[in-house]
Each structure stands twice: as structure tokens, then as C-alpha cells.
Structure 1
Amino acid sequence: MRLAFWRAGKDKPVVQRAMARPVASAPKPGAASDSGDLDLHVLGQALMRRRSWIIVPTVLALVLSLAAVNMITPRYKSEARILVDGRESVFLRPNGERNEERSALDAEAVTSQVQLVQSRDLAREIIKKNKLAERPEFDPVLQGVSPLKSLLAMVGIGRDPFSLTPEERVLEAYYERFTAYAVDKSRVIVIEFQSRDPELAARVANSIAEGYLVLQQDARQQQAKSASQWLSGEIEHLRKRVAEAESRVEDFRSKSSLFIGTNNTTLSNQQMGEINTQLNNARALKSDAESKARLIKEMLQSGKPIEASEVLNSELVRRLSEQRVTLRAQLAEQSSTLLGGHPRIKELKAQLADLDRQLREEAGKVSRSLENDARIAGGRVEGLTASLDQLKKQASSTNGQDVQLRALEREAKAQRDLLESYLAKYREANTRESIEAAPADGRIISRASVSNTPAYPKKLPIVLIATLATLLLTSGAIATGELLRMTAPRAAGTAGVMREVEPEIGPEIAPEIAPEIVLASRSEPVLAPAIAPGLPVEAHRTFEPALSEPDADAPPVNIAAGDSEIEQLADALVGAGAARKVTVLGTASSESITLTALTLARLMALQAKVVAVDLVASSPAMTAASVDPVAPGLAELMQGEASFAQIITKDRLSRVHLVSAGRPGFDRAQLQSPRLTLAIDALLRVYDHVLLDAGSASDLPAELLTSQARAIVVPEASMAQDARALMCDQLKAVGFSEVTMLSGPCESSDTVEAGPRVVAA
């Protein structure tokens, strides 16, 4: 969003000023830069001057390390490898697990096997097998203890060998030379052993691998033996318990007459099932007969044709139906030639009526027959129901005994199943115990061989490390001393600069500006441009960073006829205290808006700390009023070419601090950076009021101008009142908290000349 204003007429002529390029002061050789950077060239020269302090210790360390590695007795290392793959035969597994595929060992299981290789029991076996306790390499007491070691042991630095037992001394030396670890992402265990004798190193490594496998086999056999002994005792006890449980079941069944019929059910339950089946069949017959009889009766009563299957299947009904069909055919034939009152027609109709009567009588007989069948089935149902009730009463009397019988049977079955499982396990454990060479969980995939290359000490790495460490330490010590020497005077100089700056810009402002905002800055120091032309300049002279007092000889800026209005506005802004951020903009010329903002800032500076920020850079009035016309501005701050303190200068004629938009030719796109808002917020924390010279505000972000700000509008003198009111409403809608419309701009009587160059550090 941008604020745009239209103004009539053309800009007034601006003051033409010549700008000179900055003259950089020559740095002192051998010193650090003003921004705190290090001069690597000077540091390299210092190292070259003291190269003897580097070369001599380095050569001495090289010679001493060579002598030391040649005096140490070498050790030879041999390596054996074991693959942990679970080589158990499928025929030796329990019957229930033969068809199951066992999962591979995980990383924790392989680590556990490594701990087994490092066990003290296995170490004692290896020491005993290879007679390591008889070698001075593993028991230093056999070759005597030197007086130096005894003295160190008395002081407490070393350990007294005589304070340990011979077994502990040998075990300590054994574990110092022995290493076992698992290869990453595999089930391979590496066994390494070092010794002064290369043949002994290979023999001990192979002995450890073989002893590990033997230890596993012994553990399996001992486990099977213990299991078979325990199972044999349990089996004898279970056999007695099974016999007792089965005898109790048979005795209780005979006493309770709970005999078993077919399908493993009692006789009473079997009889109840059969009677229940017969009862269901009788009920079905009864219901069927009653339904058919009721249907035939309903047909007879309603006079409908008899279409029941029982009536139609009757032989008599079938003959009567045929005769009826024949008579109806004759009646139809005679009716074609004879009238209804003819004797032949009456005879045929009488015969048809007689046949219908006979059919109905036959249907009634069938209905009565079905009713008789239903009554017979009902009597059978009653008899079966009585029998079933009697059996239920008999079964209810034996339910408690049946429950006790089932409990006894379950107990006997459980004891029998347990006995059978123990018998199967006993046979398997007995078979495993009888096998002399049970397979271990691993196998040797690489045996140790005699090595001819010493594993310790590593001569080349030790010599290189000692030499390079000495070289780095000596170089670092010399470089550190040079850095400390270069840094000390620079710190003192910086403190002096700050002491000179504080009286000019205020002691409360100088330390607060830097922490308010952190912007990117370059490592090189940024030198302000040289002083304006016309002032005497000495060659290679560096101006101290201080702010000059207002120049009494500089021509003042004359205020237009509306000076009383500006004074009242300044008093109102300072007295209110709320309008800490003031944006000056309008439709007048850029020079008039800048002069109005500068005049308002000077009047407010009589009662408060005020900084005027130029965001237009189209009028030379703000630059001409500064004590450092060529100082860097906001554009250089956004690019990191200047620090925050370097862009703040002072007004020649007042206590106002000034911040320019940038040096001539700067990129105005830098004024649209989001970091510019942070810079303005930092100034608001330090100063009482911040005045922004926005000009016509044609290319500035609206948030920068309107956020918590009050607008001061500088219109053209010819601007109509309606246009002024409309502009105030538009500015309030944009986001200004309050808008003040001046009657007219301020004008200057003559041109302001540039003052001396000053940088606020």
C-alpha cells in the first residue's frame, strides 16, 4: 500500500552543492582494524619472526617420540572369529517345536554371548591350559619389581603388585591384552589377543574360541541332565496320582448308577432325548391333522369347491368328479337345443345336484377322519409328555451326582495329560544327555594365525601426532600472544572515542542505540565522506568522531508567516506526550515540507529529545543543516555499510539530531526493507519524539508512516478547503491516529551552507 498525493506546480529550485568523495585514513601497520577484524598478514609476519620457537620444539618432539616408540617392547595381535547361528539340530528339538522356524538371534543375544566369552570362568580355563601364570609377561612379580614402581606404589600413584594374589595379577594382565566385541549388523564375535610372543597370541585366541564352544556344550548337557533327574521324580509321583484319580471316577459312577450310553452320555439323558424327539413328531402330526380338518370344514360351510389334497386323492371323489364332468357336458349339449323346462334338462340338473351332494358328504367324511387322527395324536402327545416329565424328575435327582462325576473325570484327565507331557520331555532330555557332542550355538569361521606385524605401538601415528601437536601448540601460543598485543591498544582507543561521543549526543543515548536493533554489517570499517569543499583538509588526517556545537555563523532559516502556528503545534506535541512518532507529509514542494519538518523539530527540541529522519532525500535543506553533510544514512544502515551510531548527526542551530535517507545516488529500494521499521522503533525507545520527513510519500510503505503515528500535513497555499478536509479523512482511514492540517508551508530566505564533517560513533 502506498500513499500518493498530487501537488500543483513545480518544485522550487534546490540548493546546488558539490559532494566530494571520502578520503580514507591510512591504517597503521601491525594494528587491528577499527571494526575489530584481525590482520592475518601481520599475524603471519609475527609467526615468521618467531619461527625458531616453533621449529626447535617440533624437531625435539619428533626425535623424542621416535626414541620412545623404539624403546617400547612390541606386542603382536591375533584374531579369531565366531559366528553365532544357533546350530541346534531339528531332530533334537521337542516334538511340538520341530515344525516351527525359530527366530534369529537379536543384537542383545549376541552381546550376551560376548559377555560369555569374557567370563572369568573361561579366562581361568585358558590361563590354566596355556600356562600363562608361569610367564613374566602376565605375572610381573616373576621378573622382579623395579624400585621406581615400588616408590610410586608407596606414594599412591601406582599399584603394588604384592597387594594382589597371583591369580588376580594374571587375570588383570590377561584382560589388558584380551578384547572381544560383536561386529555391527551381524552375529559375528571377534576375539583379539595381544602378546609379546606372536605364537602365544595366536594360540590363546584359538583357545578362547574353542573354550567358548566347549563351555556352551557343557552347559547344554548339564541342563539336560538336571532336567531328566527332576522329571524322573515327578513322573513317579504323577503315576500314583493318575491311578488314584481314575479309581475314584469308576467307584463314584458305579455307586451313582451313572452309566454311559452311546456318544459318551448317560442312559437317562439318552432316553430323554429319544422321548423328546417322539413328542415333537406327535405334536407335528396333531397340528397337521387339525389344520386340514379345519380347512375342509371351512370349505364345506362356505360352499366353495373342495380343493383339499386329502379329498381330491379319494377314489370315490375322483369317480364322482368324472361323472359330474360328463353330466355337465351333456347338460351343455342339450341346452343348445332344449329349453330349461324340458324334462331332459331337469333330469340332468337333478343328477348334477345329487353328485354335488355326494362330493360334499365324502369331504365331510375326510374331515371327520382327520379330526379323529388329530385326537389320536393328541393322546400320544399327552403320553409322551408324561413320560418326559417323569424322566426329568429322575434326571434332576441325579444332576448333583453327575456334576461330581464330571469334576472327578476332569481331574483325572488333567493328571493324565500332565503325566504324558512329562514322559515326552523325559524321553527328550534323556536323549540329549546321552549325546556326547551336543551342538553349540556358534562355530569358528576364522582361526587366529601368527602375526609378524606389531600391533602396539603404532610408530607412525604416534610420531605424527606428537609432532603435529607440538607444532600446533607452539604456533597457537605465539598467535595468542600476538592477538592479545594487537587487541589491547584498540580497546583503549575505542573507549576514548565513546567518551568523546557521549558529551555531544548525550550520555544516555550513546549506550542505548546499539542494543536496540541488530542489523547486518560488514567486517570492513566504513569511513564517512570527506568534508565539504571549501574547508581546509590536511593530508592523512582522521577526524575524531565527535559532534560539533551549532555554528553561530551559519545563516538561519526564516519561518513564514505561520510561525506562531508551528510554535503552538510544537508545544501541543511536546505537552501531549502521546505523539512520539510524527510524520510530516503533504502536497507542497519537497523543500517546503523538509523546512517545515526541520522547523517543527527545532521548536520541539527546546523541551525534549527529538530526532528528524529524512525519508525523501529530494531536498538539500536537511543535509545542509547537518554538521556532517556527507554522513551515511538509512540506506547504508540497511546494507550493513554503516553502524547505527554513524548515521546520527546533529543540527547546526539546535539540539535536534538528524538522520538522512542516504548518500547521493543511493538505492531507494532499501527504504522499503522491513528492517527500517525496526530502526524507527529503536529510535522511539531512545528519543522522546521521532519526526519523519515523508515528502509526498509516493514510494514509502504505509505501515512505516502510519503505525502509531500522528500526521502533520503541509498543503500548498492554493489548496481548497474541501480538498484539505478530504485529505484529512483519507489519512485517518489509512491508519494515522490523528491528522493536523497546517495553513501553509515554511519558506527559507536563503541557502544553508554545509558545515564540518562529524560522525556520531
Structure 2
Amino acid sequence: MVPSEPPRPAATARARGYTYPGEEEGVHFWDFWHVLNCRRWTVISSCVVTVIAVTIWTFTTHPVYTGTATLRIEKEEPHVVKFDEVVKDADSQQDYYQTQYKLLQSRTLANRVIGLLQLDRHPDFQQPERGRGWLTQAETRFRQWLVRWAPVPPPPAPEETEDLALASPLTSAVLSRLLIEPVRSSRLVRISFESHFPDLAARVPNALADAFIAQQLDQKVEATRYATQFLATQLDETRDRLGEAEGKLNRFLKANNILFIAGGDKTSQAQDLITQQLTLLSDGWLKARSERIAKESLLAQGNTQDVGTLPAVLQNTLVSKLREDLAALESEYEKLSQVFKPGYPHMRQLAEKIAESRRQLRTEIDRAAQAVQADYQAALRTEQELEGALAQQRLQAGGLADNMAKYNLLRREVDTSRDLYSSLLARLRETQISAALFTSNISIVDRAEIS
């Protein structure tokens, strides 16, 4: 009997699934099959668990749809009218766009969309446990059971306020599904929304875009309304100040008897009138003074010399005629005196004529001298009157500076109030026009569509 050989270590190791380093090249398919056969229940269990998990996930998971709308946001608004808007945005380019992105994610805008689409009644937001893990669902059910068996008094219901509306879970749920994605190197921004309902995934981005544009316009309308009320109030106050200033100016003009010719600079008119009057009075006074001096010289000449030698007497035609007649009578009397004696009747008549002629000549000379005296007195009175008027005019010219200073002050107040009133009135009209011509710098490039 041949004794059996003990098993070799290599065969025993291969049977147990082990190999030596030197035997690696001797491993073949049946070795793997032997290992799998030994671990078959482990492999089968893993496959079954995986299939069951995938099946459960496939049947319990709802498809998620994403709707995307694209907006274009311009920094500057298109100008329909030539004047500026009431409210100007002075932010920088980067700050402006970052602000717009945050506004797109604001709770106020989300609540506006919720109200427009009535999302509180939509099935996608009426099943809060959809998509939540089974641990979370179990925790919720446990809390409900605990509250049912150990009731606690409910907290007092808070008052319905705008802050509570902004902090509602529905708003948070909507914002959690919303994605605002700016497109690099452009003025475009994408608005994406995820939902289990394809129509809702498209409606929410579109509604959000429309609501955002409407919100921007509403803010401008509100700012314009406030500006219109403010300008109207300022306009009424300015109108009252203008009326009061004009009343003060008119009372000042009447009190100081200041009159102006229509048109032109009022201050220049007053100064020109005073200057013209001063010039006229000064010229008249100088002329009257010269005439008075000339007549005074003639009068003095008549006092020191024979009155008959005065130029006024020598230039008197009647005096000249009487002198010619007297010379003729004296010449005739001289001739006849060589023939007749003075007692001769004709000589006596001729002597009487000569005496009468001399008397008339003296009378006319005296009358001419009196005319010189009268002319001197008239010239003296004229000079004195003009001198008084000139002095009075100089006083008025001196007081004109004070009156014009007060007048200019009142006039500037009137002009300032009138300019301010005109400016406010024009601005109010522009604001009212701009309110009807509001345009938005935000436009929808692509609307979200149901696919």
C-alpha cells in the first residue's frame, strides 16, 4: 500500500484563494470563478440592494424642469425728452449692476410674483414633504405625534404685517429655486427657476422679469409723484414771495416818485434822466449867468457914461430917427437964424419943434436905459432861478444813489423770485411730461418657454 502524499502548500493556498508571489502567472479563470462561487451570496445581496435602491429612487424622484429667461439691463435709460429725469442714479457701473442682481433676488419681488401667479395655491408648493428625505419625514411625523399626545398651548398668532409676509416660508421656497446668473462681458442676466411642473418653470422667470420691469417703473412713478408734489408746493411758496416782492417794489417807487420809461435798464434810465436834467440845468445856468454879466456890464457902463452912448440906445431905431429929425431941425434953424431974428414967428415955431424933438429923444433914451435895467433884472432872476433848480437837482442826484441802491435790492429780489418761479414752473411741466413718457432701461431678450 502506497501511502498518500500530503497536500502541497501551493495547492492548499490556491484552494483557499491565496497565491504565492511566484505563482501569479499561473492564475486563470477558474480561480476567479472559485472565489466568486465562495462569495456568491454577498454578490447577489449587493446586486439586489442596488436594484431595489435604484428602482425606489426612480419611482420616487420627480423630474425637475428649469426655465430660463434673459434680461438686458442698460446703465442709461433712453431719453424720450431732452431734459433730464427727476431722479438720477449716481452709482458706479459695477455697483449699479450688483444692485440690480440683488433686487432680482429680493423678497419683495418674490412676493409680487407669488401674488401674480398665486403660487400659494399651486400644487408644487402645497406638498412640503415632496423631495425630502425619509429621515426628515420621520422626524416631522414624530413631532406631530408628540404634539398630539403632549399638547402645548399654541403661541399667539402674530399680526399680519408686511415683514411677516416677506419672511414667509413660501417666499424662501421660491427664492431657493431661483438662480440669477449674469452673463460675463455683457449686460445680460439669466433668470432660472426650477420646478417639478414645466409650465411653472417657464412662468416664474417670465413673471419675475415682468414684475422687475414694472417695479422699476413704479419706483420712477412714485419718485416723480413725490417730485411733482414738492415742486407744486415750492411753486406756490415762490409765487407768494414774488407777489410780496413786487408789492414792496411798487410801494417804494410810488413813495419816491420814481418813474421809468417802458423798456431798457431801469437803473440806467433813472441815472440818464438825472444826468440829462443836470446837464440841461447846468448849461442853462451858465448861459443865464453869462447874459446877466453882459447886461450888468452894460448897466454899469450906462451909470458911468452918457446913457445915449449905450449900444442899446445907439441901436434903437426910434432914437436914431429922433436924432436925425433933431439934427435936421437944428440945421434948418441955423440957416434961418442968419436971416431972421429969434423972435420971428417961424423961428419961434422952429425952436419949439427943436425943443419937442429933444424932449422926445431924451424920453426914448431914458426908456432904452430902463430897458437895459429891466433886461439886467430879468437876466439876474433867470440866473437865480436856474441856480436854485440846479442845486435842487444836485440834491436829487445825491439822493438817487440811496434810492437806486434800495431799488436795485428790491429789484433783484423780484428778479430772483421771478426766475425761480419760472424755473420751477418749467421743471414742474417737464416732470409731468416725463411721467407720461417713462421708458425702462430693462428689456426681456428671451422669455422662458415650456419645453
Q: TM-score, normalised by structure 1?
A: 0.31
More helix by share: 2
> Taking CA–CA contacts closer than 8 Å with sequence separation of 6 or more, which of the two structures ends up with the larger relative contact order?
2
